[in-house]
Structure 1
Amino acid sequence: MAMLSTKSNSGVSSPPVGSPGRTVMSQPRGERLKCRSKLKICTWNVKTMSKEGKIENAIQEMKRMHIEIMGISEMRWPNSGEMQVENHKIYYSGKNDGVHEYGVGVIVSPTVAKCVTNFTPVSERIMLLQIQASPINISILQVYAPTADKEEEEVVELYQEINKIIEKIPKHEILIVMGDFNAKIGAVNRTQYIGAHGLGNRNDRGDLLEKFAESSDLVVMNTFFELPPRKLYTWKSPQDKPERIVRNQIDYILVNRRFRNSCKSVRTYPGADLESDHVPLVGVFQTNLKKVKKRILVKHDMRRLRDPSIMGDVFQDVNKEIQKNKEEVDIEQKVNHIKESVQKVKEKYLKPDKRKKKSWMTEEILGMMEERRISKNDPQKYKNIQKAIRNKIREAKEKELEDRCTEIEFLQQKHDSYNLHRKVKELTGTCNRKQQGKLTDSDGNIIIDKQEKLKTWKEYLEKLFEDQRERHLQMEEPTNGPTILRQEVESAISQLKDGKAAGPDEINSEILKLFDEESVILLTEMLNTIYDSGKIPSEWLISEFIALPKKPGAKKCEEYRTISLMSHLLKLFLKIIHRRIYKLCESRISPNQFGFINAVGTREALFAIQVLFQRCRDVNCDLYICLIDYEKAFDRVKHDKMMEILKETGINDKDLRIIGNLYWNQTANLRTEGEHTENVKIMRGVRQGCVISPLIFNLYSERIFCEALDEMEKGILLNGLRLNNIRYADDTIVFAENLEDLQALMDNITYHSNQYGLNINVKKTKFMIISKNKITGSQLYINQTAIERVKQYTYLGTIINEDWQNSQEIKSRIGKAKSTFNRMSTFFKTHNLSLDIKVRLLRCYIFSVLLYGVESWTLNEDTIKKLNAFEMWLYRRILKIPWTARVRNEEVLRRMKKDLEIMNTVKVRKLQYKGHIMRNESRYTLLQSIMQGKIFGKRGPGRRRTSWLKNHGSIKQTPTFPDCSRQSKNCYNNREHSSRISTPRRCLFLLKCSSFIVVGRIKKNIIHLLLPYLVPFNLFFY
């Protein structure tokens, strides 16, 4: 049995590990790496790692000093996660609000990276890294304590948080707590925990550190080794001068007392250089590392199928493999054979290229950094070299930017949009770091152990999907259900989307699309066997969840979004069923549901409430609104009630049986950190990632609102009918003319929702009143709990408020678009890309953020000025024109070789949308009623505020609303009329008939700019 040495430079000896009365080996002897028995571990406050070239400099210093693990204090990287640089793995934990402040990290060598078992980002001041070693595992806590200007309470809280982590770490492991503690212990009398060889005088923070060490049974190792002061100090004060030395010891390495003898030495290396006023503190530990056997998820590059030769080879091989087992009868065997055939072909042809990413760092810069280190004692030379390094780094980064921009230009010429946008994201730094969160238990304690994490996730899933239902599905023997046709299978395969993550069977949709006619026939026979028997393959019944944080800093399971990965073969099968039942189910869904319905979406929902509430305001009709938020609505659907609703729709018996068996026999597990939880029985909720789940949820929601509201004559009177709710899936707005009516509506909705398992989240549900009069004292209650009244609310991603004006929403959209632009400023401000590509990607990344929900906007002069000013703000920054240059807007547009387009786009999309609604009476009956229907009320005196409908009248050359309605329905005749006009005259004709060209001179470049937008909708303006 390997033993730790029992002697150290501190002169203290103890029985060896593994002897009676001491620690037993925590791990059996496993595969050892060929590494030194002495492991160098370092901690260093580097002031910041956000500067270009600093991470490469740190790795260079690690290699020079043969350091395997380097802890970093004051990392200044936001969020938490891991990334790889030059084969070294970097783990970091920072602030969740995106601020580059505080932060800790650990850089490990390639050897140690293979032995890391767990990484836990605790906060911006603490992180934990666990390493498998022999004979005893190592746990490292990297710390950055508050500076002297912070309150003492912050330091106490930090130590309390560290203690909570220490309690979770097994006692038989080596524990190292290291970092910048901003405390001076000084040279004091020796104790069990503090040595006599500290530096300087103790301060109050030093007393706190000693108390922490005693309470946690930790030994401050760099106070136990007798060394000269130059190898003890860790920080150089700004007042430090050759004639007056001011240096202190404020960084420490602490080891649990039980394993103090594993530490052979601790000293500082003043000769190391990383542009910091601290020096590295290095400890040498006697231990061996053990390689961790991790489950590696093999990724395959589906993009390689774009190569015709590779696609041809895959086409031949996959069909040849699948057709080998034609005579197989057992369904499970057939599914396994398809899976194995696809996997075999993917392994042969679709392995990703393992090309090493080229770094911008050059050997010349690294050499200059080494020269700078050697010149530390010559301040002037050090300063000159540092200036030269900054210049070289700037040149190297510009060269890298130029090369990447050349790649982007080349991809644009090839029309390879996928790789183009991937390169843009790499260039802007939005996809190079793997984010990682933490998990806490019900008491708020951070979970460290991986098995405990899996157990916590399993318990959460069991609680989430637990329900009381019949153990077995009771169904009569099906009597009807048409046979699945080959054409249906081919159509369903063509509708599968590329680029989607594969499920547990690892079969991608791109491979399914390469099936030839004979393979499709075999697949059709297999699906028909499943359809006729109702027996679903066991692998199809297992869903795999992955957890993604809903927001930065997620801790609890509830704060993660569980995304389901399911078999693509199952998706194909359910697409066929979905196509058969869709029209039957959709006919039972009311027109005020806008979620998961063909030809409608968030745009229609936002338009409906915008125009409806504006029209109510115009006729002095007060509105009392409740914005409902359900608790995990999709996961609360009761399966027995769901089946009752589906039976009443009249779908085929075999389709119903497939859906029932799928829901009654399904299980799921969750994948985290490469491990899976045990399978959990899903007793309620609709299946995530399933194509028929949205349809089922809409039917389920429809039943609730039908039972709750059918006999209630409350709401807004529109064309003689009562309208009292607008829904987008589970995001629901309920409204009435007075508080009593709204309270009655909500009482009924709450009761019937509870009957169907859906609970209203009282904390997130809000109450709003829209009225010209100031109404106070009104209160809405749900389950005897008062609902908070708000002045504004974010609904479907847009801000709605009591005044029902879009100025606040437009201001918010401009702010979000500016934020996106600033994140991508490196890309937009470079001179290495043509203006054409910049403008194209400006529309893709910036305008798309700005113009979300634009069809429902109501514009005025103020908002138009803000939109135009924002567009000019973008162009000035692209051209790098400062405000002090006094360059006029006309000159900016001339340099951009374009005209203002945001307002043109806004007006075009609004007019397009109006014509689209007016032409489709059957689909948009409710929206047409909202636009033209009679609302009970009386106009007040004075001029009406601008509404969405009247907004068009304020735009020059716009036809009146009745004219638009009439002409939009006669668009085909207008198209025939316009086709008789010659091309040049037609361009002018379209522009004159549109609504957004100011009277005056029409420039040719405006025609070229706007004509593509006008062609699809121009005809209803004539």
Structure 2
Amino acid sequence: MATLSTKFNSGVSSSIGSPGGTVVSEDMDKIKWQKQIKIATWNVKTMSQAGKINNAIKEMQRMKLDILGISEMRWPGTGIKNEDDYTVYYSGTTDNTYKYGVGFIIEKEMAKCVKNFIPLTERIALLQLNSKPVNINLIQIYAPTTDHGDEEVEQLYSQVSKIIQTLPKHEIMMIMGDFNAKLGKGRMGEHIGDWGLGERNDRGDMLSTFAAEHNLIVSNTFFQHRTSRLYTWKSPDRRTRNQIDFVLINQRFRNSITDMRTYPGADIRSDHNPLIGNIRIRLKKVAKKQVKRYDYRKLKDTNTKNIVKRKLETILQGQENETAVDDDLKSLQNVIKKVQEEHLKPDKNMRKSWMTEEILELMEIRRIHKNNPTLYKAIQKQVRIKIRSAKEAEKLEKCIEIEICQAKFDSFNLHKKVKEMAGITKRKTINVLTDEQGIVVLDKENIKKTWEQYIKELFHDVRTDPPTIDKHDGPQILKSEIEVALKNAKDRKALGPDEIPVEILKLLEGENMEWLARLFNKIYDSGIIPQEWIKSEFVILPKKPNARKCSDFRTISLMSHLLKIFLKVIHGRIFKLCEEQVSESQFGFRRAVGTREALFSIQVLFQRCRDVNCDIYACFVDYQKAFDRVQHSKMIKALQETGLDGKDLKIIANLYWNQVSSVKLEGENTNNVQILRGVRQGCVLSPVIFNVYSEHILKEALQDMEAGILLNGERINNIRYADDTVIFADSFESLQNLMDRVTLYSRKYGLDVNISKTKCMVISKKQDIYGTIFIDGTPLERVKQYTYLGTNVNDDWDHSREIRIRIEKARAAFIKMKKVFTSHDLQLSTKLRLLRCYVFSILFYGVESWTLTEASSKKLDAFEMWLYRRILRIPWTAKVTNKDVLRRMKKEMEVLNTVKVRKLQYLGHIMRNENRYFLLQNSIQGKVYGPG
């Protein structure tokens, strides 16, 4: 790398060439600047208004900009979005508010040179570009205005300083944006040139200090231009002009900027002008792995389906029974890839834009008359009218498409188009990753290493050698078992490492199915798992907004679809044996029971105890990553005691002892990591295995414990849904004993109770009960209410709170989809169907355990009428009776009636199935013993 140094001249710089100095280097002739690009920064005031992004792109095309940095973008969240032939990178607020925000708009070809995009905060974003001879790092900022305190400005500079420390010193770094600071006219040291504007203010001093500390030059102060090409902001009265937007570059590369000026003729209805610089650099495309996507919905077409079936028959050609399993799988992969390429490539469906050429032409006319306020406002009014008309036309088109899907009973596309119309389609989100010290990780290789280390630590355990399984029993896998497994498999699931989709496997029949049965039996008899099957890939999803640490993300495992089918067959064989080992107090992952039954049992049992003055002392136990902490040796031991066939046990053991996984990050994978503990995520066997494992913990912990609530002469002390456990007793002392045992035996099996998230509650009519529960000497927080399985549980056992919460959640869902429900272009029948799907489904969650009162019934009726009035767009000032509203809706009231019907139907369902719902029947009819 050539060493560059700068000698300053008298301070007057040409607008072309090196501003204020001459580069001296014996290696300078080796650096060839082969391309010049135009980079700009612009405070656009907002990008959230309709048509603003199209306006910005049109101005970029007119000014021939390659990269535009945006300040005050006002898009919430973070992500990447494609607009026409441009890519938009944005970083906004985490609380879904439309304020602040920064971003970049880049021409699509140039976007191929983007190495990385880091959305740091709603005021700072980093874009890294691959280029020669060195890479470019662009930092876009939006500094607080004078309405905000200096502390916020200092915090922003501090955050930018931390980023600068992580960037390679030998790379070009440009910091640009709206600094809301005035540097003033005249040279100030080496980092500020002669061609500033106006008088310096306090924020200008802060910017000057920041530039000096990091050896940055404020490039737009080094180019001599007339005043109209220097100012970046104009006051609303058009009398005051200031220079508050700047572009800073590290001094070493100052000569790469050949010019920097503002363009006051540009128009986006902002009081700022774009600041544009010419940069001499050669960009270089980043080699990215392209993920091939196929459209499996094409298989619904009979002709395509039959063609693919015929193609699949070639699987058997040249295959012998003695062929190795890995060779068989390779042959299957090759045939499927050929079929995908020939028949299942997705059609190029270009998304239509509502923006019209007429609107863009009006925007251009508006720009030309920027200096004529009266004419400008008149043209802007026309632009607004045309935009509104275009948006309405787009909405009408979407409504027609929704009605067509409704008529065809095409639920998939119906809901897809409804979400598009409501504006709740998912954009590609971008997350920032920090290491254990809180430092942002920028380099892709370091990001991969950070994730690899996290997965290693998460699944690390001191594990014994694989267990010896002496039994070799187990019947042959039948073709009928595979057919049932395939029939029950879900479509449109993410592919595993072998990229074999279940949609194509479902087309296997006849001799092909016999070939698959032979393949499965080879694996089943030997117990040896193919290499492609023991690999899985983790994809990461944020658990919360602004997720930054690895622990803030959820790791979702993707595995082979063929393996899933194989394990579904195993699941069908072991499920009944495993379920027999699980007690009735476990409602998770069991047939015919779920969250509804868990909520009903706890609500009814605790209410009946309260009715007979039996105080309940309960702990809502939260485990730390329970599914990831299962110890494999103890897991196999528990399964052996269940009495599974030897071949099934051998398959499970070999699968767990040989499994490896990697993390998939933007098409690239980390190194494989051996998984030494935890049940396999996304595996059909995992819920069953976890139930058996947790049952062993609870059985050992609560053995011979005479604590709990006395129900029909028997003690009951826990209700569970998977790892969501409620432990309860009739006194603090009994509950403490139960929790001591549960904590001890859970730890013995590798599970740790999360003390900070585990809460205790006392349900009683008395107000003077004091005390709490301790775990390892640490007191648990005692709460008056708790959210269990998504519903509100409180110490007053007042169901009206839960009903109010349900109403507000349903109201929020309605408001989120208001565009759909209030559209004039959708039929009432379609709106009602969508209302029941998206709103009533949220309202009715847990309805079976509600206790209705007159007040809560009125609230439900009022909410239903609120929905109908909004659908009909009746203002609150209009004097329209509820009767008239129902007449217009062509229906009767249904919410309260549905609640009552569902409660009665569920009660009848429970009472008719004594064997399945013995605990629930006991909770309803059994004798609960009060005090004394």
State TM-score, norm by structure 1.
0.89
How much does 1:753 deviate?
0.4
Please list every run of 5 or more consecutive structure 1 residues that lacks an aligned counterpart in the other structure: 30-34, 940-1022
Q: Could you tell me which amino acid in structure 1 is paired with residue 870 of structure 2?
A: R
Asked if the contact 1:328/1:334 (under 8 Å) is kept, the reply is: no
Q: The residue matched to 2:877 in structure 1 has which SS?
A: helix
Q: The residue matched to 2:21 in structure 1 has which SS?
A: coil
Asked if the contact 2:4/2:23 (under 8 Å) is kept, the reply is: no
From 254, 264, 269, give the equivalent of 1:275: 269
Aligned pair 1:435/2:429, yes or no? yes
Give the whole-Å Cα distance in 1 for the aligned partners of 2:350 and 2:361: 22
Q: Could you tell me which amino acid in structure 1 is paired with residue 352 of structure 2?
A: K
Which residue pairs with 1:141 in the alignment? Answer: 139
Q: Could you tell me which amino acid in structure 2 is paired with residue 96 of structure 1?
A: T
From 88, 95, 118, give the equivalent of 1:120: 118
Count of paired positions: 923
How much does 1:327 deviate?
5.1
Give the whole-Å Cα distance in 1 for the aligned partners of 2:313 and 2:851: 56
Which residue pairs with 1:1000 in the alignment? Answer: none
From 182, 185, 188, give the equivalent of 2:183: 185
After superposition, where does 1:103-182 map in structure 2 within 5 Å?
103-182=101-180
Asked if the contact 1:236/1:246 (under 8 Å) is kept, the reply is: yes
Give the whole-Å Cα distance in 2 for the aligned partners of 1:452 and 1:636: 26
Greater mean alpha carbon deviation, residues 747-756 or residues 327-336: 327-336
Q: Could you tell me which amino acid in structure 2 is paired with residue 90 of structure 1?
A: V
Asked if the contact 2:433/2:440 (under 8 Å) is kept, the reply is: yes
Asked if the contact 1:4/1:262 (under 8 Å) is kept, the reply is: no
Q: Could you tell me which amino acid in structure 1 is paired with residue 23 of structure 2?
A: S
Give the whole-Å Cα distance in 2 for the aligned partners of 1:858 and 1:48: 48
Give the whole-Å Cα distance in 2 for the aligned partners of 1:196 and 1:174: 23
1:738-764 Cα deviation digits (max 9, x unpaired): 111111000000000000000001111
Q: The residue matched to 2:463 in structure 1 has which SS?
A: coil
Which residue pairs with 1:461 in the alignment? Answer: 455
1:341-369 Cα deviation digits (max 9, x unpaired): 11110111111111211100000000000
How much does 1:56 deviate?
0.5
Give the whole-Å Cα distance in 2 for the aligned partners of 1:468 and 1:18: 56
Asked if the contact 2:596/2:848 (under 8 Å) is kept, the reply is: yes
Q: Could you tell me which amino acid in structure 2 is paired with residue 364 of structure 1?
A: E
1:101-125 Cα deviation digits (max 9, x unpaired): 1111111011211111101110101
Which residue pairs with 1:363 in the alignment? Answer: 357
Asked if the contact 2:20/2:222 (under 8 Å) is kept, the reply is: no
Give the whole-Å Cα distance in 1 for the aligned partners of 2:470 and 2:477: 19
Q: Could you tell me which amino acid in structure 2 is paired with residue 290 of structure 1?
A: K
Aligned pair 1:717/2:710, yes or no? yes
From 511, 520, 535, give the equivalent of 1:542: 535
After superposition, where does 1:559-708 map in structure 2 within 5 Å?
559-708=552-701
Which residue pairs with 2:774 in the alignment? Answer: 781
How much does 1:3 deviate?
12
After superposition, where does 1:883-962 map in structure 2 within 5 Å?
883-937=876-930
Give the whole-Å Cα distance in 1 for the aligned partners of 2:874 and 2:564: 52
Which residue pairs with 1:196 in the alignment? Answer: 194
Work out the percentage of aligned pairs sharing the same amino acid. Answer: 56
After superposition, where does 1:78-97 map in structure 2 within 5 Å?
78-97=76-95
Give the whole-Å Cα distance in 1 for the aligned partners of 2:302 and 2:5: 62
How much does 1:19 deviate?
5.0
Q: Could you tell me which amino acid in structure 1 is paired with residue 635 of structure 2?
A: M
Asked if the contact 1:326/1:522 (under 8 Å) is kept, the reply is: no
Asked if the contact 2:132/2:281 (under 8 Å) is kept, the reply is: yes
Give the whole-Å Cα distance in 1 for the aligned partners of 2:26 and 2:350: 43
1:162-207 Cα deviation digits (max 9, x unpaired): 0111111111111110011111111133421111110010111001
Which residue pairs with 2:12 in the alignment? Answer: none
Which residue pairs with 1:387 in the alignment? Answer: 381
Q: The residue matched to 2:22 in structure 1 has which SS?
A: coil
From 747, 753, 756, give the equivalent of 1:754: 747
How much does 1:129 deviate?
0.6
Q: Could you tell me which amino acid in structure 1 is paired with residue 871 of structure 2?
A: I
Which residue pairs with 2:9 in the alignment? Answer: none
Q: The residue matched to 2:56 in structure 1 has which SS?
A: helix
1:275-294 Cα deviation digits (max 9, x unpaired): 11111111110011111110
After superposition, where does 1:292-441 map in structure 2 within 5 Å?
292-326=286-320, 329-441=323-435
Give the whole-Å Cα distance in 2 for the aligned partners of 1:728 and 1:774: 30
Give the whole-Å Cα distance in 1 for the aligned partners of 2:471 and 2:581: 23
Which residue pairs with 2:243 in the alignment? Answer: 249
Asked if the contact 1:139/1:174 (under 8 Å) is kept, the reply is: yes
Aligned pair 1:732/2:725, yes or no? yes
Asked if the contact 2:598/2:720 (under 8 Å) is kept, the reply is: yes
After superposition, where does 1:951-990 map in structure 2 within 5 Å?
none
Asked if the contact 1:322/1:338 (under 8 Å) is kept, the reply is: no
Asked if the contact 2:315/2:512 (under 8 Å) is kept, the reply is: no
Alpha-carbon spacing, 1:312–1:938, altered in 2? closer, same or farther (3 Å): same
1:92-147 Cα deviation digits (max 9, x unpaired): 01111111111111110112111111011101010111111122211111101111
Give the whole-Å Cα distance in 1 for the aligned partners of 2:426 and 2:570: 40
Q: Could you tell me which amino acid in structure 2 is paired with residue 376 of structure 1?
A: K
Q: The residue matched to 1:182 in structure 2 has which SS?
A: coil
From 500, 506, 515, give the equivalent of 2:499: 506
Give the whole-Å Cα distance in 1 for the aligned partners of 2:506 and 2:866: 46
1:653-703 Cα deviation digits (max 9, x unpaired): 111000000000000001012211100000000001111110000011000
Which residue pairs with 1:851 in the alignment? Answer: 844
How much does 1:812 deviate?
1.3
Give the whole-Å Cα distance in 2 for the aligned partners of 1:900 and 1:153: 56
Give the whole-Å Cα distance in 2 for the aligned partners of 1:83 and 1:18: 41
Which residue pairs with 1:1013 in the alignment? Answer: none
How much does 1:838 deviate?
0.5
Q: Could you tell me which amino acid in structure 2 is paired with residue 779 of structure 1?
A: T
Aligned pair 1:11/2:20, yes or no? yes
1:579-604 Cα deviation digits (max 9, x unpaired): 11111110000000000001000000
Greater mean alpha carbon deviation, residues 681-690 or residues 180-189: 180-189
How much does 1:11 deviate?
3.2
From 44, 55, 58, give the equivalent of 2:56: 58
Moved over 4 A (4+): 1-7, 16-20
From 764, 782, 796, give the equivalent of 2:757: 764
Which residue pairs with 1:230 in the alignment? Answer: 228
How much does 1:476 deviate?
3.6
Greater mean alpha carbon deviation, residues 399-408 or residues 187-196: 187-196
Alpha-carbon spacing, 1:11–1:211, altered in 2? closer, same or farther (3 Å): closer
Q: The residue matched to 2:593 in structure 1 has which SS?
A: coil
Q: Could you tell me which amino acid in structure 2 is paired with residue 384 of structure 1?
A: A
From 794, 801, 807, give the equivalent of 1:808: 801
Asked if the contact 2:41/2:276 (under 8 Å) is kept, the reply is: yes
1:697-722 Cα deviation digits (max 9, x unpaired): 00110000000002100010000000
Q: Could you tell me which amino acid in structure 1 is paired with residue 648 of structure 2?
A: D
Q: The residue matched to 2:23 in structure 1 has which SS?
A: coil
1:452-472 Cα deviation digits (max 9, x unpaired): 1101100000000000012x3
Aligned pair 1:838/2:847, yes or no? no
How much does 1:4 deviate?
10
Q: The residue matched to 1:883 in structure 2 has which SS?
A: coil
Q: The residue matched to 2:153 in structure 1 has which SS?
A: helix
Asked if the contact 2:197/2:242 (under 8 Å) is kept, the reply is: yes
How much does 1:36 deviate?
7.9
Q: Could you tell me which amino acid in structure 1 is paired with residue 115 of structure 2?
A: T
Asked if the contact 2:177/2:247 (under 8 Å) is kept, the reply is: yes
1:32-90 Cα deviation digits (max 9, x unpaired): xxx98211111111111100000000000000000011111111111101110102100
Which residue pairs with 1:554 in the alignment? Answer: 547
Asked if the contact 2:38/2:64 (under 8 Å) is kept, the reply is: yes
